[in-house]
């Protein structure tokens, strides 16, 4: 299988299946398609549109079949590798896991827009300003804290549904955002963030992101290159 992804420092959507497959021990070939621009005719768009008409990453290719969109990719992997138990075994827990992943997939727009993923950066001053000026971002953070707290208490940790699974992979980019922007969270949530960062799959993604040194001004409107 090949997994087409964007820059690891910035591409939150790409991070989800990459971390999921790496952490679960599912072998794949990584194909990096560097972000240059997202306009029609850009090198990035031209390359990705060969596989995904929507022109976005990630894209999973398995024996000629292209699957795009992170929900579709994770569902495909769960069916393709049932022995990996990527969703919880219990039906009710599995339904809840799908619910929170769908909520992440379609929601939290304020947080996404204000806190773009940038693993290399440390921007607590930006985080503090955004939280002070944009109450809807704080509401998104509060919802995530409430969700994670409930799941950790209900399932006993260390991950959201006990063992690592799709839900943790889906929220791994949020973990990165909370760290980059120095968002204050309760101790229980901070401990979960530390555990996610320590996962081998997540640690490997972070290491690769830090090694890129590929500054893209259109991804970082709030600062200039040193």
pTM, 2 dp: 0.93
Backbone dihedral region for residue 18 (phi beyond 0: left; psi -120 to 50: alpha; all else: beta): alpha
The domain limits of the chain are 2-84+211-219, 91-209
Q: In this structure, which long-range contacts are made by residues 20-23, counting pairs with CB atoms below 8 Å and at least 24 apart in sequence?
A: 20/74, 20/77, 20/86, 20/166, 20/169, 20/201, 21/77, 21/201, 22/200, 22/201, 22/204, 22/205, 23/164, 23/169, 23/199, 23/200, 23/201, 23/202
Over the chain (226 residues), the average pLDDT of each successive run of 10 is 96 97 98 86 88 93 96 98 98 98 96 95 95 98 98 97 98 98 98 98 98 79 53
Predicted pLDDT at 202: 98
Cα–Cα distance for residue pair 152/60, rounded to 1 Å = 30
Predicted pLDDT at 38: 75
Q: Is the CATH number of domain 2-84+211-219 3.40.30.10?
A: yes
Predicted pLDDT at 37: 76
Report which of 205, 89, 103 is spatially closest to residue 148, judged by C-alpha positions.
103
Predicted pLDDT at 226: 40
For residue 53, the SS3 value is coil
> What kind of architecture, by CATH, is found in domain 91-209?
Up-down Bundle (1.20)
Predicted pLDDT at 225: 40
Predicted pLDDT at 219: 66
């Amino acid at each position: 299988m090949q997994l087409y992804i964007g820059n690891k420092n910035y591409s939150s959507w790409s991070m989800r299946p990459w971390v999921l497959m790496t952490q679960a021990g599912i072998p794949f070939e990584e194909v990096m398609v560097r972000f240059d621009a997202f306009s029609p005719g850009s090198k990035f768009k031209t390359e990705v549109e060969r596989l995904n008409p929507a022109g976005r990453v990630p894209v999973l290719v398995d024996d000629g079949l292209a699957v795009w969109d992170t929900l579709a990719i994770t569902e495909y992997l769960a069916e393709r590798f049932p022995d990996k138990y990527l969703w919880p075994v219990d039906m009710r827990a599995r339904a809840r896991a799908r619910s929170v992943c769908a909520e992440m997939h379609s929601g939290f727009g304020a947080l996404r827009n204000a806190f773009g993923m940038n693993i290399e950066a440390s921007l607590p001053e930006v985080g503090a300003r955004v939280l002070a000026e944009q109450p809807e971002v704080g509401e998104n953070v509060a919802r995530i804290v409430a969700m994670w707290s409930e799941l950790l208490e209900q399932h006993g940790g260390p991950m959201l549904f006990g063992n690592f699974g799709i839900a943790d992979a889906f929220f791994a980019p949020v973990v990165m955002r909370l760290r980059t922007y120095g968002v204050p969270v309760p101790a229980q949530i901070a401990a979960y963030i530390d555990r996610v960062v320590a996962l081998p799959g997540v640690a490997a993604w972070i290491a690769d992101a830090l090694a890129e040194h590929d500054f893209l001004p259109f991804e970082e409107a709030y600062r200039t290159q040193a």
